[in-house]
Structure 1
Amino acid sequence: MLLVFPPAQVRADDALVLNMSPQALADALLQIGRQAQVEIAFSPGQVREKQAVALQGELTVEQALDDLLAPWGLAARQQGARRYTVVTATVPKGLSVLEPVRVQGQRIGERVYSRGDMDQRPAGNRDVSSLLADHPAVRQDDAAQSGVNRGSLALQDISFYGASPFQNQFQIDGISATNQIDPASRNLNLQVGNVPAYAQAYNLDTHLLESVTVLDSSIPVDYGRFTGGVVDARVRNPQGDNSVRFDFSYNSSGLTAQKIAPEQKKNFEAGKPGFSPVWTKRFTSAMLDVGWTQDTAALIHLSRRQSTIDRSMRVRHDTVFTDLKTRSIDRVDNGFVKIHTRWSADTDSALTLKYADRREDLVDSGSLADQIQWQHQQQSYGLGFDLNHDLRWGQARVQLGYDQMNSYRHSDGTDYMVHMMYQPTGRLDYTYITGGFGQESTEQRNLTLKSRLEFKPVQTGAIEHATYAGVELAHTQGEFVRQKDAYGGNTRHFSNGQPDKLQTLNYYQAGNVGVSYTAASVYLSDRLSWQRLALTGGLRVDRDNYFGNTNVAPRTLLEWDVLGTGETRLSGGWSRYYGMDILGTAMRERKSQLHTLLITGGNRVDRPSHTAYTLDGLRTPYDDEWALRVQQQLSSTVVAELGYVRRYGRQQVSIEGTSKTGYLYTNKGHAKTDAFTLSVKSIAPWAVGPSRWTAHLDITHQRSKRNTKLADGYEGAAEEMDDDIYYNGDLIRRGDRPVGDYNLPWRVSAGLTGRWASYGLQLSNRIHWNGARKDVHYLGLNRSDGREKYESGRVGSYWTWDMRLDWEPTMFKGLGVGLDVLNVLDKQAPLVISTPNSASSQNLYRTGRELWLRASYRY
C-alpha cells in the first residue's frame, strides 16, 4: 500500500500538532502522512490487525512514527527528504528490553492474546488451555484446577458458551489442528482399544506463539466446522535480527501446596493414573532468529517441557507383592520453523514446519498388578504454506496445509492375563494381572487448501461495500491401528498338580480400520456501510461426501455508531455454526470386527465379536446464536463492553442401545445457554510516576440447560427432558434440574500490570473469583415408583490471586529472571464434593500456592 501526497509545504522535522484517538494502525499512518504531507510506504501484512495508540501534543514526523510503530516491533526508515518505508525494527546485539505494554483493538466477538499479553501472565504449564482458562466465554471441567494430578502436562478441555468441548476449531496459522477421531477419550487406564486423545492435536508451548486469537461469538463466515469457538494460534514471526534466546522454567511438588482427601491419599501417594504425588518440572526452550537475505528471515524454535513423576509399580515375587518406586516421565517436545519471504512490495509468503510430541509414562499400582506399565503418546507434525498477494482491486490469500496427528498407547507384551491361583483344597488363594496389549493408535491425516479474496471497498450510491469470498477443501483420513495380535483373558493355576486351565480368552487381531472423506466449503461476506450503520451479511455452505450432509450457515451482524465518533457502539446479530464430524463414530463397528472370543467358560467357541453401530441419517450438529453488545469508550485510555449471548445447541449427537442389540447414533441432544459479560479494559497505558499501567476486568454469568453430559462426547445418552425425577426430595421435570458438568454460573477475572522501563521491571497481578455452584449427584432409583433420584451439593465460592514478576537488570544486558506465584494466598477450596450417600470422601481441592522460577538470556 503506497500513500502519496502532494509536494509538502511543511518540513518533516517540523512539529505536528496531533490529537489522534486509538485507531487502526493503517489509518493512523494515513493520517500522519496527510497532515505532514509525506509519503509513507508499507505492506498490508505489516499493519494487519494492529491498533495504534493515541497521539496528542506536538511531535515531529519521526517521533510520531516511532510512537506508532515501536510497540509492534516496526520502525520507519527514511528514504529521501519526504519518503518513509515501514520496516521491521532491529535490536542491537546484547541489548535486552522488556516487551512493550500494548493493547490491541479487536473486532466484535474476538479476543487476541498477544505476545505481550502472554508474557504478562503467570504461565504454569504454558499450554493453550491454561491461557484461555479465564476467558469470559470459557468454562472448564470442575476438576481442572485440582491438585491431585498437578504434575501432569495433559491439556484441559474447554467449552464455549455451554457447547461441546470437542466441537471447537483449533488452528495453527489458520490451518485446522483439531483431532476428529476420538477427542473425548480420557480413560488413562490400560484397556484394549483405548487410546486417549485430545481435541487439541498439537500440545503447543505458548512460548513459541506470536498470538492466540479467540473467536467466541458473531464469528465470520471464514470459519467453519465448529459449534463452540475458534482458537487460532499464530507461530512467532521471524524478525531477521540474527538473535538467539534461551529460556528456562522450574517448578516442583516441593514448591506447590496440595490438599488431598484422606480416602484418596493411597492412590495419590502411589501415583496411579490420574494422580501425581511428587514431581519436578523443567521447561527449556531455544529460539534462533536469522536474517538470510534482505527479504528472507527464518525462526527456529525448540522447546521441551518435562515433568518427572515418582510412581509406585507393583511387583510380584512368588506370592509376595511389593512396591517398586519408578521415575516416570511426562514430556512435551515442540519444534517449529517459520520462514518468511517478501518477494516484492505486493507479495509475501510464510512456510511453517510444525512438530509436537507428548509422551506420558504410567504404571499400575493396584494390588493385583505385576509389573504392568504403559505409555501414552500424542504426536503431531505438519507443514503449512501461506501466500499473500496485493492486487489493484484487493488482496488474495492462498494457504496449503498437511498435518499428521496421531495418538498411541504402547504397553509391554501382547497378552493381558488375569491369573487365579488356587490352593490344594481348591479354594481361591489370590489373583494377579500381567502383560499388556501391545501398541494401538488412532491416526489422522489432513490435507487442506484454502483461498480467500478480499476486495477493496466500493461505493454504490450512499452505501459502501466491503466484500470477501473464499473456498476451502479438506481431505481427512482417520484410522485405528493395532500393530500386533493381542490376547486377553484369565487362567486358573492349581497347586495340587492339575494343569493350568484357560477360562476365558479374547483374540484382538492386528490390523487397521479407517474412514476418509472430503469436505468442501464456500463462503461470501459483504459489509454494507451507510453513515453510522453497518450491516454484515455472510453465508457459508459446507458439504462432505461421507455423511452426505449439506450445511448452509447464514451469519449476520448489525452495527451502529451511535454518535458517529466511535465512542458508543451498539451491535447485534444472529449466526449459525455447524460442527465437525467425529470420525470415531464411523469406525466403532469396524473396530469391533477385529475382536474374536476364542474361549469362554473353559470351552472353545471361536465366536467373532461384532457390535453394530448405526449412523444412517445422522446429521451434523449445529448451534444457533443471538448476540447483543454495547461498547462505550469511557476515556482516552479505558473502554467498556456489555454483551449478551444466547446459544441453542441443536441436533447434538448422542447414542442409545446395548452391545447385544447394537447401538444407534441419534441427533436427540439439545442445549440452551444464556451468558452475560461485562468487560472493562485499558486501550492505552496510563502513567504513575516512572511506571506505565494497564488493567482489565471481566464479569461473566452463564446459565445452561442440556440433556447430555459434555464430558461424554458422542458416547453419552440423551435424556428425556419431560421425564419426572426427584431432585432434593421434590418431584420435578428433568429439564429443570441444573446441569452437572462445566457449570460455573458466576466468575470475575481482573488484571493489573505495571512496568518500570528504566529499571527493567514488570509486575502483573491477576485476581479470579469463582462463584458458588451446585454439583448434581445421582442417588439411584426411588423404591416406591422407580424414578431416578438426584441431590445437589453446594460448592462454595472462592477467589485466588496470581502474580508474575520479571526483571531484566540493566547491568547484565540480555539476562532476564522471573518469578510466578500462583494462588498467592494459598486458597485450597473444594472444587468437587462427594456424593451425599458415599461412605468415603472423594472431594477434590484447588491447588494451593505454586511457585515457578524462570530465567532467560537473549543475544
Structure 2
Amino acid sequence: MLSLLLLALAAGPQQGAEEEACPDKAAKAQSAKCRPADEHVEVTGRYIGPESIEAIGRYTLSRDFLDSSALGNGNITDQLAILPGVQLSENSLDVSNLAELKPALLTISGGQPWQTGFFLDGLNFNSRLDPAATGVAAANINQVQGHPQGLFINQAIVDSVTVFDNNIPAEYGNFSGGVVDAKTRDPRQSPAFSFQYRGTRSDWGQYRVFEQEQLQEDDLGLDDGSDNELRAPVFEKDQLNMSASRQMGDHSLLFSASATRSRISELSFNQPKVAKRRSSNFLLKYGYQGWLDELNLTAVYAPYRSEQFVKDTKDSDFTLDGGGGSLSLEAAQALGPWYWRGKASGHYSQSSREAPQAYLPWLRAPGKAWGLNSGDIPLSKEGGFGSLENRQLGFRLDQSLARSFSALGADHQFKLGYQLEHQALERDRHQPAYTYNSPVRDADIICNGQTLDCVEQAYHRPLVELEAELGEPLDLLNPEHFALYSANVAMRGQYFQMRRLYPEEHIQVQLLTQGLYLQDDMAWQRFGLNLGLRLDHDDVLKNLNLAPRLQLSYDLLGDGDTLLLAGLNRYYDANLLTYKIREAQVPYVVQYRPIVDGAVQSWMTSGGASRFRYRYQDLDTPYSDELVLGLKQALWGGVLSLKGVWRKGKDQIAQGESELLNGYTYVQQINQGENEHQRVSLSWTGTLGRHSLWINGSYTENTLSTDSYDGTVDNTPEDEIVFLQSGQDYQLVSLGDLNRYATDFSRPVTVNAGLVSQWTRSLTTSLSAGWRGSYDTVVDTGQERASDRLLQVCPECQVSNIYYPVYRKVRLKGRVLLDGAIRWQMPLVGQHSLECKLEINNLLNSRTNLVADGVSGIETGRQFWLGLGYSFP
C-alpha cells in the first residue's frame, strides 16, 4: 500500500481541467470532473431502488423512498428489514412493545446488534454503555437496558440512509457486522418550511387474544380483586415533525425537529396502568460555500425518556433516560489535485435509571396479598432495582485526502484517511441497592425494629377473644378452628433470610483509538480493483489491528451491465470500554441474618459466598473475516444481484477459568469464541413505468460456539443465573448462555418484496411484504422459581431455597406480513402543498406468530397511522 501512496503523490496532472481546483462554484456544481473521489452521487427521479451495479455491498434508501413508505415510529433503522442480509428483531412486533419508541434491534450479515456500526454524516454514534444489554429486563439491578445506538435518529431529519452489508470500504472501522450511515438534511435542498403530524391509536388496530393456561386456584383463600382475562392494550402515539430552511447567498441554515410520545395502559395485577415514553430529535445545521468549497456546522440533540413500572410489582415505578447529542464541524476544500475533507465532533449519550433502591419478593400471604396467585410459589413483589447512571462522552477527529489520477494504464480514485477518537464512560451508583431473596414464613418472628424486610404476625382480633368465642383453646388441627384462625390473620409473619447488597460505585474509564486507512479504487480495461487497508490501535487492549479490504470486479461484456465481483475483507470489533467498566465494577455482597430466640439479628456478610470479578487481560481484538462472491446484472430496467457472503468470526470473547485471589473469584475472559455466517441472496430492484419494485430472498445459516460453554453455572454470579424451561424441565443457565438459545436473528429463510407506484403527480402508494421462517427463541415468563442452591450461595443461611427468574424455550412459526401506505399531495396556492398519508401495518391482519403454541398472550393485527402535512419550497 505504501507504493500506492507514493504513486498517488508522484502522479502528474491529467489532461485539461480534471486536476484543477475548480475555483468557479457554478462549474464545480455541474462538472463531474471536479467531484471528489469520495463523493456518492445519487440519481433522483421515480426510481427508488436501493442498489446499483458496483462491487461495494451498498444499499441507499433515498428521501423519496422514506416519504413513500410506512414509517411506524420513524426510526431510521426500522425500514431496513427489506434489505438482503438485514434482520430485525421480531420483538418490535410484540404487543408489549406497542408503546416503545426505541429503534428495533437489527443484525447485518450475522453480526450481533451491537456489532453494527452506526454513523450520522460519517460520524459514529454507537453506544458503548453495555449495548449488549438490550435483552435484559428494563429493571435489571446491575445493568440499565442498553441499546447499540447512542442516539435514536428519526427519519424526519435525514436525507438518506445507506447500509453496507459486505465489501465495506476501509474508511469504516470498529464494527464486525455491517454499517448504517445516515445523512442529515441538506439546507440547500430542503423545503423552506414543512410541518407534519402523524398518529395512531389502539382503537385503530386489531388484536388476537390467546388464553391457553389457567392460573392455579387460590389455596390461601385470597382474592386479588380482579379477573385474569387477557385484554388488548390501550395506547396512543403522536408524532410532530417540522423543518425550516433558508438560503442566503453562500450561507444556508436548517432547523428540523421530530417529537414522538406514547402512552400505553399495560396490565399490572390484572389492572391497567399507564406507561409513558418520549423521544425527540432536534437538528440545527449551518452550511457555507464560499472561500471554502464546503463548510457545515451541525448540532443534534436526541433525548429519550421512558416512565415505566415492573409488572405485577408494587411501588415499582422507574424512569429510564437515554439518548444524547452531538456537535460537529465539517470542512472540505480542493487543494490542487487533492480534495481535503476534515471533521471534528463531540458527542454525549446516557443510559440511566431512577428507581426504588430495594426489591422484596414477599411470600403471598395475608397482609402481603397483592401478588397474583401464579407460579409454583406465589409471590407479592415490591420495590425496584435502584438508580444507576451511565454516561458516555467522546471527541472524534477525521481527516482525509482524495484524488483521481491515471497511472500504469489504470484510472485511480485514491483516498488516505486518519481517525482519532477519545471516549470516556462513567458509571455511578450513588446509593447502595438491595435485592432480597429467600422469604420465610414464621408466625412467631420478632423483627427487632427491622420493618423494611420483616413483618410480625398480626391479628384482627386477639387470639384470646377467638378462644373465648369458641369456648375452648385453639386447635389448628380442627378444620373449624383453622378456618377461623386463618380468617383472623391480618398479617402473616415473615422475613427475608438473604439479600444481595450492591455498594456505591463511581467508575470512570477512558479509551483512545486511532485509525489509518488507505484505499485505491482502480479501473483497468474491464477490471475493477479496490485495494483497501486499515490499521487500528487502542490503548486498552493495546493491539495493532491490520484489516485488508480487497474487492475485485470484472465487467463481463464491457458495457457496464454485467459485473462479476469478489471480496476478501476483515472487520474488527469495538466494544472495549464495556470490558473496562465490567472489570472495574465492585462485586455485590451476599448478606444473611441469623435468628436468635425467635428474633432477627443484624445483617451479616457471608464468608462463604463467592464475590466475582472479571479480567480482560492479554486479549486479542475479536474480528470477522469475509469472503464475497457475486454477480450483478442490469435487467428489465433495474439490477439483478446474486451474492454469497461467508463470515467467520474469530477470537470472540468467552468465559475462561476462574481463580480465587484475595477473597475474590476472578473469571478470566479468553479468545475462545467463534461464529460463522453463511448467506446466499438473490434480489432484483427496478422500474416499470411509474412503478418501482424490489424483491429479494436470502437463505442464512448462523452458528455460534464458545469452548467455555459447559452447561453449568458454577463460575457465574448469582444475579446472572436464570431458569430455562423446556417443556416440564427446568435448567439453571447463565444469561450469557441463554443467548445461545435465542435465535431471533437466525431465521434461515427470509423473503422481501415491495412496490412503490406514482399514479399521478399527487398520488403515491407503496406496498412491502416480508416472509420470515420459523425459529427457536426464549421468552421471559415474568415468574420466579425456587432452587436449593442457597447453601452454595450462602452457607450460613438456615433454609435452602433461592429464587431465580424463569425463561421459557419456545418455537415461533414463520409469518407473512404486508404493509402499505397511501400518500396524497394536494397543491394549494402558489407552490404551497398539503399532504395526507395513511400507513397500514399488517395490511391483511395476519398472525405475527409471536405467541407460541400452548402459551397465553396477545398478538397485534392490522394497525393504522394517519398523517397530515404542509410544505412550501
TM-score (norm 1): 0.76
Matches within 5 A, 1:307-386: 307-312=262-267, 325-344=272-291, 347-366=293-312, 369-386=313-330
Instruction: Identify the residue that residue 746 of structure 1 maps to in structure 2.
Output: 749
Does residue 848 of structure 1 match 2:835? no
Does residue 298 of structure 1 match 2:253? yes
Q: Tell me if the contact between 1:769 and 1:798 (Cα under 8 Å) persists in the aligned partners.
A: yes
Q: CA deviation at 1:592?
A: 2.3
Q: Does structure 1 residue 44 correspond to structure 2 residue 63?
A: no
d(CA) in 2 for partners of 1:275, 1:410: 29
Q: 1:825 aligns with which of 837, 844, 858?
A: 844
Per-residue CA deviations over 1:1-20 (Å, capped at 9, x if unaligned) read x99999xxxxxxxxxxxxxx
Q: CA deviation at 1:717?
A: 11
Partner of 2:396: 448
Contact 1:423 1:495 in 2 (8 A): no
Q: Distance between the aligned counterparts of 1:395 and 1:560, measured in 2?
A: 28
- Name the CA distance, whole Å, in 2 between partners of 1:361 and 1:276: 20
Aligned residues of 1:646 and 1:672 also touching (Cα < 8 A): yes
Deviation per CA, 1:306-363: give whole Å up to 9, x if none.
111113556xxxxxxxx7743321111111111111123x521111111111211212
CA distance in 2, matches of 1:432, 1:363: 15
Q: Which of 159, 178, 186 is the equivalent residue of 1:229?
A: 178
Q: Deviations over 1:157-202 (max 9, x none)?
A: 2111212221111111111100123112132343422211100111
**Cα distance in 2 for residues equivalent to 1:206 and 1:217:** 24
Change (3 A) 1:154 1:681: same
Aligned to 1:694: 692
2: distance between equivalents of 1:388 and 1:850? Answer: 45
- Counterpart residue identity of residue 430, structure 2: Q
Aligned to 1:28: none
| Correspondences of 1:190-229 after superposition (within 5 Å) | 190-229=139-178
Check whether the contact 1:339–1:350 (CA below 8 A) recurs between aligned residues: yes
Corresponding residue for residue 643 of structure 2: 643
Match of 1:395 among 339, 360, 363: 339
Q: Give the distance between the partners of 2:290 and 2:213, measured in 1 at CA.
A: 61
Counterpart selection for 1:495 from 457, 460, 469: 457
Q: Kindly state the Cα deviation for residue 443 of structure 1 after the two structures are TM-superposed.
A: 1.2
Paired residue type of 1:495:
Q
Structure 1: distance between partners of 2:57 and 2:699: 16
Q: Determine the C-alpha separation between the residues in 2 that align with 1:801 and 1:225.
A: 35
| Aligned AA (1:770) | R
The one-character-per-residue Cα deviations of 1:468-517 (angstroms, maximum 9, x if unpaired) are: 11111111111211133444547221136999977545544334112211
Q: Name the residue aligned to 2:801.
A: none
Decide which of 113, 116, 119 is 2:67's aligned counterpart.
Answer: 119
Equivalent residue of 1:131, what SS? helix
The answer to whether the 8 Å contact 1:148/1:260 transfers is no
Q: Which residue of 1 aligns with 2:463?
A: none
Q: Please state whether the residue corresponding to 2:341 is helix, strand or coil.
A: strand
Q: 1:51 to 1:614 in 2, by over 3 A?
A: closer
Count matched residues.
719
Call closer, same or farther: CA 1:772–1:440 in 2, change over 3 Å: closer
The residue type paired with residue 355 of structure 1 is Y
Q: Is the 8 A contact 2:193 2:871 kept in 1?
A: yes
- Aligned-pair distance for 1:583? 2.2
Displacement after TM superposition at 1:218 (Å): 0.5
Matched-pair contact (CA < 8 Å) for 2:528–2:553? yes
Distance 1:435 1:792 in 2: 28
Name the SS for the 1:178 alignment partner.
coil
Q: How far apart are the structure 2 equivalents of 1:241 and 1:47?
A: 23
Q: Secondary structure, in 3 states, of the residue corresponding to 1:163?
A: coil
CA distance in 1, matches of 2:259, 2:654: 38
Structure with larger RCO (C-alpha < 8 A, sep 6+)? 2
Instruction: Provide the residue aligned with 1:86 in structure 2.
Output: none
For 1:800, the equivalent position in structure 2 comes to: 817
Contact kept, 8 Å, 1:151 with 1:278, in 2: the verdict is: no
Name the structure 2 match of 1:110. Answer: 58
Alpha-carbon distance in structure 2 between the residues aligned to 1:151 and 1:563: 53
Contact 1:142/1:832 (<8 A) preserved: no
Letter in 1 for 2:700: Q
Matched, 1:761 2:777: no
Aligned equivalent of 2:421, options 462, 474, 482: 474
Within 2, Cα distance between the matches of 1:181 and 1:393?
A: 42
3-state secondary structure, aligned to 1:166:
helix
Structure 1 residue matching 2:655: 3-state secondary structure: strand
Query: Counterparts of 2:311 and 2:814 in 1: how far apart (Å)?
Result: 35
Shift of 1:738: 10
Report the Cα distance in structure 2 between the residues aligned to 1:447 and 1:767, rounded to whole angstroms: 41
Equivalent residue for 1:18?
A: none
Q: In structure 1, what is the Cα distance between the partners aligned to 2:455 and 2:619?
A: 49
Matched residue, 2:205: 256
1:178 corresponds to which of 108, 126, 142? 126
Q: CA deviation at 1:294?
A: 0.6
Distance of 2:741 and 2:315 partners within structure 1:
44
Contact 2:226 2:271 in 1 (8 A): no
Q: 1:558 to 1:39 in 2, by over 3 A?
A: closer
Helix, strand or coil at the partner of 2:641: strand
Describe the shift of the 1:707–1:777 C-alpha distance in structure 2 as closer, same or farther (beyond 3 A).
Answer: farther
- Structure 1 counterpart SS, 2:77: helix
Shift of 1:597: 4.8
Aligned twin of 1:556: 550
1:414: which partner in 2?
357
For residues 42 and 253 of structure 1, do their structure 2 counterparts lie closer, same or farther at Cα, with a shift above 3 Å needed? farther
Q: Which runs of 5+ in 2 are unaligned?
A: 1-12, 18-26, 216-224, 372-376, 437-451, 460-491, 595-600, 708-712, 717-725, 728-736, 781-807
Residue 663 of structure 1 deviates from its aligned partner by 2.1
Deviations 1:686-705 (A, max 9, x none): 43xxxx22111112111222
Shift of 1:526: 1.7
Shift of 1:528: 3.0
Aligned residue type for 1:827: S
Whole-angstrom distance in 1 between the partners of 2:858 and 2:571: 35
2:308 counterpart SS class = strand
Aligned to 2:703: 705
Q: What SS is found at the alignment partner of 2:142?
A: coil
Q: Distance in 1 between matches of 2:435 and 2:779?
A: 35
Q: 1:556: how far off?
A: 0.7
2:649 & 2:749 partners in 1: Cα distance? 21
Query: 2:150 is aligned with what amino acid?
Result: A
- Change in Cα spacing, 1:363 to 1:242, as seen in structure 2 (3 Å) is closer
Matched residues in 2 for 1:716 and 1:550: separation? 35
Match of 1:590 in 2: 584
Cα offsets for 1:377-409 (capped at 9, x unmatched): 212111111111112212111111111111011
Partner Cα separation in structure 1 for residue 290 and residue 151 of structure 2: 30
In structure 1, distance between residues paired with 2:42 and 2:583: 52
Q: Deviations over 1:612-662 (max 9, x none)?
A: 212122221111101111111124x22211111111111112225689744
**Secondary structure of residue in 1 paired with 2:113:** coil
Aligned equivalents of 1:206 and 1:614: distance in 2?
40
Given that residues 221 and 525 in structure 1 are in contact (C-alpha distance below 8 angstroms), is that contact kept between their aligned partners in structure 2?
yes
| Residue among 537, 540, 561 paired with 1:543 | 537
**Aligned-pair CA distance for 1:584:** 2.4
Q: Is the 8 A contact 2:415 2:519 kept in 1?
A: yes
**Could you report, residue by residue, the CA deviation over 1:410-466 in whole angstroms, capped at 9, with x for unpaired residues?**
11x434445679989xxx999745444543122111111111111222323x23332
The one-letter code of the counterpart of 1:680 is W
Q: Distance in 2 between matches of 1:265 and 1:527?
A: 65
CA contact (8 A) 1:775 1:832 kept: no
